[in-house]
Structures are given as C-alpha cells and as structure tokens.
C-alpha cells in the first residue's frame, strides 16, 4: 500500500472514530439530561403500592377517595414546653377532622381525630437538625414543630398518615386559627346546628337547651366548639363531637350557597389572614374550592366518626385515656383501640380484592 493510500485510510478511520465518539457523547448526554422512564414492571409495582394495602395477611384495593384534613389551631401555653429555637411554634391543633370524599359512592364521611391521641410525630430536636426524628406524643403537638405555617401543616398531615398506618395519603389540608371559624361563619350569615336530645348547653347560653336547633353567628360558633366542662369526665369527647357536627353543618351550608367567583374570593379573603393551605396559589385554590363546594351540595353526607371512648351500649369503643403519669406526658393521652380503629380504616378507605362492592 502506497503512502498516499495509507494516509487516506487513516483519515477515513479517524473520521469514523470522531463520529463514534460524538455519537456516544450525545447518547450519554441524552441519558443524563432525559428523565428516566420506569420500566413496565417498576411502574406496575409503584401503582400496586399506591392502590393496594395489606392488613393481617389480607390484601385490599383502595377505594376512589380523596382526603382533606381540616385543623383548628389554638395557642398552647405551658412552662414545660420550650420554644427556644426556630423549629418550634406554640400553635397546637385543637381539633383535627379528616374529610373522606368517596367519589364513587358520592358521599362525604368525617373522621374526627382525638387531639390527645398518642401518635408518632416527626420532630426537630434542635435548630441544627437536618433530618427529622420521631417522638411518641399527643398528635395535637405535631403542628408545633415547624414554622407555624405550611411546614407545620405538612408535619401534622404526616402524623395523621402515620396514625393511619401510613396506608393513606392526605391529599390537601387547611389549618386555621379559631378566628377563621368566626370569620367564615359570619360570612355565611350563620350556621344552624341541632343539639342532641340529651345535650343541654344552657350553661353556655340559656337558649341552648337539649334538642333545640340553634342559629350560630361567628362569636357563638367559637363558644359552641370550644366549650368543655372540665369538671365532668369525658367532656373532651363531647367537645370533639360538637366540633365535627359543626363542621358538617358548616359544609352543608356552604353546599346550599350559589357560588360565584366573586363570592368564592370573598370567602377566601374572609379566612386568608387566619389560615394556611397546601395550594400553591389563589387561582388553584379557587378552582378547587368551586369543585369541592359543588360536591358539598351534591354529595350525601355520611357518618361522623369520633375517635373517643364508647359513651354507652352500642357505641364503638375507639380507645381509652391514660393518665399523664403513665406516659410521662404533659397531659393525659388517648390510646387507640387498635382492633376497632383498624376496622374503621379498612372499611373507609379499602375494599377486599375479591369484594364486588365498587365504592
């Protein structure tokens, strides 16, 4: 082979190598910059994890439900609680209600979580921590970890998800100071609540006698949901029941209104200074509010379940109180009855894989 021929061959080989190197580089760069697509098996595994759950060896599918956590906040004042760094605030969750919107059954159920329930809470133990630790304490304190706003709301959601065996997801949340209850009640021009036949609240207001339907303005709504006779055993259970009943009637009142964009914006402005939600902007919130409020008017209102001890024969017992000395906590703790609570979680959120009930 002549020198010229050899030179030509080497040039061709060099060009081919350059193209190969360039092609491999482009391929590698594409792999780095392009998000990885999950293989079919991995996707199915992820989907199965999201859509199914196992309890005691039995497998269940998730129902077509969405969850909304609503929490009312009150300031916690106690010398034993330290707020000496940025990772704490003193706004505890005084009431915690989980709305379960079953889209297939077109029903809204309510689960009122006892604020004293002993639960696993993510905590920050110092301002230098970057990874949350966990602590077992009353679930109301979950909100006291964080900035008192969005961060604390998410932490409360995590605690509720932990309580529900990490088998559910809280889709959206709204935390609000008690002033928001007053503001939205007045904006709705009042909320009507019917007292139980054995429910006499004349100690709060002489007009609030057993069995009577009472019209609550904002100020009276606060009295209704806050009142607790501390000299009577089980008074907290009664307060929890009133809080969830009031919320149900408030939402029914919302559903009966003829909502316009202007009216929705007014409702938002009435509570915006006192509340925090996980929505990114007002437009998204208003759009979802419109959909949700329409559902409040069209969906059936289902059961209210209060996580409290059984009050009488025939009531489901969801737990019992233990003294603060037993658990070395600041206040008495509510211990869930695991058997009954697990049945509630399964019946509300899941159906057996071989069950033909499609709600």
**Structure confidence at residue 31 as a pLDDT band (50, 70, 90):** very low
Q: Which pLDDT does position 15 carry in this prediction?
A: 43
Tell me which residue of 209, 224, 217 sits closest to 191, measured CA to CA.
217
Rounded to the nearest 5 degrees, what angle is found at the Cα of 227, between the Cα atoms of 222 and 228? 155
Q: Which pLDDT does position 125 carry in this prediction?
A: 59
pLDDT tens-digit series, residues 235-286: 678 889 999 999 999 988 887 776 666 777 788 788 888 889 887 666 666 6
The answer to whether 173 touches 285, Cβ cutoff 8 Å, is: no
Please tell me the pTM assigned to this model: 0.78
Rounded to the nearest 5 degrees, what angle is found at the Cα of 337, between the Cα atoms of 334 and 339? 160
Average pLDDT (157-186) is 93
**Mean pLDDT, the chain, as a whole number?**
79
Rounded to the nearest 5 degrees, what angle is found at the Cα of 303, between the Cα atoms of 185 and 294? 50
pLDDT tens-digit series, residues 318-349: 999 887 666 666 677 899 999 999 999 999 99
Which region among 43-52, 63-72, 202-211 has the lowest average model confidence (pLDDT)? Answer: 43-52
> Over 70: is that where the pLDDT of 1 sits?
no
**Structure confidence at residue 14 as a pLDDT band (50, 70, 90):** very low
Rounded to the nearest 5 degrees, what angle is found at the Cα of 91, between the Cα atoms of 267 and 226? 70
Tell me which residue of 163, 140, 199 sits closest to 319, measured CA to CA.
163
The answer to whether 331 touches 318, Cβ cutoff 8 Å, is: no
More confident residue, 45 or 239: 239
Q: Please enumerate in sequence order all residues whose Cβ is within 8 A of that of 349, keeping only pairs 6 or more positions apart, or say none.
A: 62, 63, 65, 100, 164, 167, 168
More confident residue, 108 or 82: 108
- E strands of 82-222, at which residues? 91-102, 107-113, 118-123, 133-138, 172-177, 191-194, 213-216
Q: Which pLDDT does position 8 carry in this prediction?
A: 53
More confident residue, 128 or 75: 75
> Over 70: is that where the pLDDT of 143 sits?
yes
Strand order across the 300-306 sheet: 275-277, 172-177, 65-75, 91-102, 107-113, 300-306
Tell me which residue of 112, 109, 96 sits closest to 295, measured CA to CA.
109
Interior/surface letters 105-126, b for 16+ CB within 10 angstroms, e for the rest: bebbbbbbbbbbbbbbbbbbee
And the tokens for 116? 């004293």
Interior/surface letters 320-330, b for 16+ CB within 10 angstroms, e for the rest: ebeeeeebebe
The answer to whether 292 touches 307, Cβ cutoff 8 Å, is: no
Q: Which pLDDT does position 38 carry in this prediction?
A: 44
pLDDT tens-digit series, residues 291-313: 666 666 778 888 899 999 998 88
């Amino acid at each position: 082979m002549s020198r010229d021929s050899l030179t030509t061959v080497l040039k061709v080989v060099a060009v081919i190598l350059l193209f190969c190197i360039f092609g491999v580089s482009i391929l590698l760069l594409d792999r780095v910059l392009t998000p990885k697509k999950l293989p079919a098996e991995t996707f199915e595994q992820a989907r199965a994890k999201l859509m199914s759950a196992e309890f005691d060896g039995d497998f269940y599918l998730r129902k077509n439900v969405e969850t909304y956590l609503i929490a009312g906040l009150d300031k916690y004042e106690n010398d034993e609680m330290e707020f000496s760094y940025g990772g704490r605030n003193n706004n505890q969750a005084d009431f915690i209600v989980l709305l379960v919107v079953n889209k297939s059954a077109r029903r809204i159920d309510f689960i009122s979580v006892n604020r004293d329930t002993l639960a696993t809470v993510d905590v920050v133990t110092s301002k230098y921590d970057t990874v949350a630790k966990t602590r077992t304490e009353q679930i109301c304190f979950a909100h006291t970890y964080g900035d008192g706003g969005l961060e604390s709301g998410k932490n409360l959601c995590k605690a509720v998800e932990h309580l529900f065996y990490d088998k559910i997801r809280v889709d959206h949340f709204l935390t609000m100071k008690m002033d928001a209850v007053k503001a939205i009640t007045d904006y709705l021009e009042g909320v009507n609540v019917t007292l139980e036949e054995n429910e006499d609240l004349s100690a709060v207001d002489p007009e609030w006698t057993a069995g009577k339907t009472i019209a609550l303005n904002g100020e009276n709504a606060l009295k209704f949901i806050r009142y607790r006779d501390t000299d009577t055993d089980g008074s907290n259970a009664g307060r929890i029941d009133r809080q969830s009943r009031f919320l149900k009637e408030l939402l029914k009142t919302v559903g009966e209104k003829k909502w316009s964009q202007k009216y929705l914006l007014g409702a938002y402005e009435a509570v915006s200074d006192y509340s925090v939600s996980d929505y990114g902007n007002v437009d998204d919130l208003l759009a979802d509010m419109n959909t949700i409020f329409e559902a409040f008017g069209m969906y059936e209102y289902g059961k209210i379940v209060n996580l409290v001890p059984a009050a009488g024969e025939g009531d489901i017992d969801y737990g019992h109180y233990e003294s603060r000395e037993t658990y070395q906590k600041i206040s008495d703790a509510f211990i869930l009855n695991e058997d009954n609570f697990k049945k509630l979680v399964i019946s509300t959120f899941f159906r057996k894989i071989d069950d033909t009930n499609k709600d």
